[in-house]
């Protein structure tokens, strides 16, 4: 017995190791209280929108660097929703695809569709339109905050300016301050006042950075006459919604770059000497006033706090707009696709049903063709399922892997990959028996000759999965990842379960002596005599095997 163990390894020890590994995986699942895998967008429900970049250069192409910058900013906007498993990818040379689970289409389109440059302008006039809410935006105020950290000087890349583009603002600090002082003394003309009086929310008005702007707030409740741009949005390096320790109300904390801090101090010093509404500055995005706080005192240091009647949602929204407001390209929403949770559940059920049908067909084929060896097939598939399920759940918890419909398809394909490994091994054993070797010898020599073929076949599947994962985008990555994972699991199962199990079964009387329905009977193998057992052939009698 000791000789057999040294020659054929320790099948019991190998099976015990595999069992311990599975037990550890499920113990970790229990410790993390995670028993179900994370589901992707197509199974949980959510929204996918496709944005197409407008060609503003006239060359017929879109700058790939600008497209990637836009994708990064949109990813930051989407991540700010606090929803996991979001996906923002470029497609082709001008499209960006945004997929977010469990988010309404209107909310997502509103967030990623804001494409204009973010600017700060001085308020000259504000007027409520018919049916306006009782509290105007000017109820918000901006005050300085204590600085506990150095102000960062990191700037996001400058977006393209609207057309037509007038002469640019000076770039040196001294010239910038001189130009800013001139802008602060700018006054609207009679024509501007007349245009403001006749303007109605919904009318179009050119948004040029060194010209006045007449526009409304997001709700169309107030219209504003604004001066030229005083501070550009990219000078805001950080914006965060928070509740101060000494308050219970939500505020928005701002941080500016070095140049932005200087400009903001100059602007707030001027505004603090004015009366309402001239002491307000408007935060303008996409030609729409997002907020128009008033200034009571100069704000040096590049840190400020906007307070008012904010809720957590409105404060977070304003902070997100200030942080990620500028896109380098203009986009059109080409398509909006919604997947309801109900539809996702139906797809999941259909995928599971397809997998069960495929599994049943494999088991049925094994019973009809391999007879008693179907026990090994069923047990191996069960072990493979246990490993696959545990790893998918744990990867979802640790790496955010979400199982989608293509991923389920990859798992279904893996059933065929695993069955293919069984067939290669079983057929090699049958060939060895037909050549006159004993069953126990055939199990070992058949494994030596078949494992190379199994590894080559699995390597091809694994290589295909890796290549597909690298070059694919979107949900196809889920198919590639699942296929690669299940292929690795197939190798582990064949080496650590199927082969040791066959070694143990070959030592039993039922399989080792080629009993009927074992899968190793002579007539089923196509051999003239039953397989050798322990090196001796059993005599053949009329009517069957003795």
Cβ–Cβ under 8 Å, residues 304 and 231:
no
Question: With 70 as the cut, is the pLDDT of residue 157 above it?
Answer: no
Most confident among 58-72, 78-92, 226-240 (mean pLDDT): 226-240
Q: Is residue 202 domain-resident?
A: yes
pLDDT of residue 134: 47
- Give 301-320 pLDDT, tens digit per residue: 888 877 777 788 778 777 77
Q: Could you give the 3-state DSSP secondary structure of residue 498?
A: helix
Question: With 80 as the cut, is the pLDDT of residue 360 above it?
Answer: yes
Most confident among 202-206, 334-338, 516-520 (mean pLDDT): 202-206
Q: Of 194-198, 202-206, 484-488, 496-500, give the lowest mean pLDDT range.
A: 202-206
Q: Are both 238 and 317 inside the same structural domain?
A: yes
Average pLDDT, the chain: 76
Q: Are both 96 and 213 inside the same structural domain?
A: no
Q: Give the residue from 330, 358, 393 where a domain finishes.
A: 330
Question: With 50 as the cut, is the pLDDT of residue 543 above it?
Answer: no
Q: Are both 144 and 293 inside the same structural domain?
A: yes
Residue among 539, 544, 522 nearest 433 (CA): 522
Q: Which H, E and C letters describe 195-223, residue by residue?
A: HHHHCCECECCCCCCCCCEEEEECCCCEE
Q: Give the residue from 299, 330, 361 where a domain finishes.
A: 330
Q: Are both 266 and 415 inside the same structural domain?
A: no
Q: Are both 469 and 518 inside the same structural domain?
A: yes
Beta strands in 313-469 (DSSP E): 331-339
Q: Are both 389 and 454 inside the same structural domain?
A: yes
Q: Which H, E and C letters describe 503-533, residue by residue?
A: HHHHCCHHHHCCCCCCCCCHHHHCCCCCCEE
Using pLDDT thresholds of 50, 70 and 90, give the confidence band for residue 300. confident
Q: Which CATH number goes with the domain that contains 103?
A: 3.30.70.3220
- Whole-model pTM: value is 0.52
Beta strands in 387-522 (DSSP E): none
Question: With 80 as the cut, is the pLDDT of residue 532 above it?
Answer: no
Mean pLDDT of 413-425: 82
With vertex at residue 46, the alpha carbon angle to CA 40 and CA 52, rounded to the nearest 5 degrees, is 105
Question: With 90 as the cut, is the pLDDT of residue 54 above it?
Answer: no
Burial 450-475 (b: 16+ CB within 10 A, else e): bbeebeebbeebbeebeebbeeeeeb
Question: With 50 as the cut, is the pLDDT of residue 148 above it?
Answer: no
Q: Are both 431 and 518 inside the same structural domain?
A: yes
Question: With 80 as the cut, is the pLDDT of residue 525 above it?
Answer: no
227 backbone dihedrals φ, ψ, rounded to 5° = -85, -175
Q: Are both 280 and 205 inside the same structural domain?
A: yes
Question: With 80 as the cut, is the pLDDT of residue 378 above it?
Answer: yes
- Give 232-287 pLDDT, tens digit per residue: 877 888 888 888 887 788 888 888 888 888 888 899 999 988 888 899 988 887 67
Q: Are both 12 and 56 inside the same structural domain?
A: no
- Give 41-50 pLDDT, tens digit per residue: 777 777 888 8
Range of the structural domain that residue 282 is part of: 119-330
Q: Are both 36 and 70 inside the same structural domain?
A: no
Domain count, the chain: 3
């Amino acid at each position: 017995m000791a000789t057999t163990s040294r020659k054929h390894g320790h099948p019991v020890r190998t099976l015990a190791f595999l069992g311990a590994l599975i037990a550890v995986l499920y113990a970790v699942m229990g410790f993390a209280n995670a028993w179900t895998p994370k589901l992707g967008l197509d199974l949980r429900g959510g929204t996918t929108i496709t944005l197409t970049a407008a060609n503003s250069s006239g060359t017929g192409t879109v700058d790939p660097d600008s497209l990637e910058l836009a994708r990064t900013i949109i990813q930051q906007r989407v991540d700010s929703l606090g929803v996991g498993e979001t996906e923002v990818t470029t497609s082709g040379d001008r499209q960006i695809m945004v997929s977010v689970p469990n988010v309404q289409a209107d909310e997502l389109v509103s967030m990623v569709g804001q494409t204009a440059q973010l600017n700060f302008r001085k308020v000259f006039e504000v007027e409520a339109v018919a049916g306006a809410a009782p509290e105007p935006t000017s109820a918000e105020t901006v005050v300085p905050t204590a600085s506990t950290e150095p102000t960062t000087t990191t700037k996001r890349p400058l977006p393209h300016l609207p057309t037509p583009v007038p002469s640019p603002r000076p770039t040196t600090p001294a010239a910038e301050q001189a130009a800013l002082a001139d802008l602060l003394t700018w006054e609207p003309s009679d024509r501007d006042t007349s245009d403001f009086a006749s303007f109605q929310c919904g009318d179009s008005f050119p948004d040029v950075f060194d010209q006045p702007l007449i526009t409304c707030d997001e709700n169309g409740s107030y219209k504003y006459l604004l001066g030229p741009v005083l501070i550009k949005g990219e000078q805001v390096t950080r914006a965060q919604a928070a509740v101060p320790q000494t308050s219970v109300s939500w505020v928005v904390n701002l941080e500016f770059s070095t140049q932005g801090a200087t400009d903001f101090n100059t602007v707030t010093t001027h505004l603090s000497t004015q009366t309402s509404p001239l002491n307000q500055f408007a935060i303008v995005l996409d030609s729409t006033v997002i907020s128009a706080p008033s200034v009571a005192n100069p704000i040096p240091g590049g840190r400020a706090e906007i307070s008012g009647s904010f809720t957590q949602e409105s404060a977070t929204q304003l902070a997100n707009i200030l942080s990620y407001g500028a896109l380098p390209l203009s986009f059109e929403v080409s398509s909006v696709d919604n997947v309801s949770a109900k539809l996702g559940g139906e797809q999941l059920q259909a995928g599971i049903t397809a997998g069960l049908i495929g599994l049943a067909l494999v088991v049925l084929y094994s019973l009809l063709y391999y007879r008693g060896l179907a026990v090994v097939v069923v047990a191996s598939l069960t072990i493979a399922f246990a490993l696959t399920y545990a790893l998918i759940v744990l990867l979802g918890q640790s790496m955010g892997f979400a199982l989608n419909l293509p991923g389920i398809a990859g798992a279904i394909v893996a059933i065929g990959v695993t069955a293919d490994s069984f067939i290669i091994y079983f057929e090699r054993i049958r060939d060895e028996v037909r050549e006159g070797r004993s069953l126990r010898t055939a199990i070992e020599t058949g494994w030596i000759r078949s494992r190379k073929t199994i590894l080559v076949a699995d390597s091809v599947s694994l290589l295909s999965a890796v290549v597909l994962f690298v070059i694919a985008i979107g949900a196809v990555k889920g198919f590639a990842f699942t296929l690669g994972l299940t292929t690795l699991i197939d190798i582990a199962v064949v080496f650590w379960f199927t082969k040791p199990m066959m070694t143990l079964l070959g030592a039993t009387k039922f399989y080792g002596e080629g009993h009927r329905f074992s899968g190793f009977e002579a007539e089923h193998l196509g051999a003239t005599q039953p397989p050798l057992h322990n090196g001796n052939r059993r005599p053949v009698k009329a009517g069957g095997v003795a």
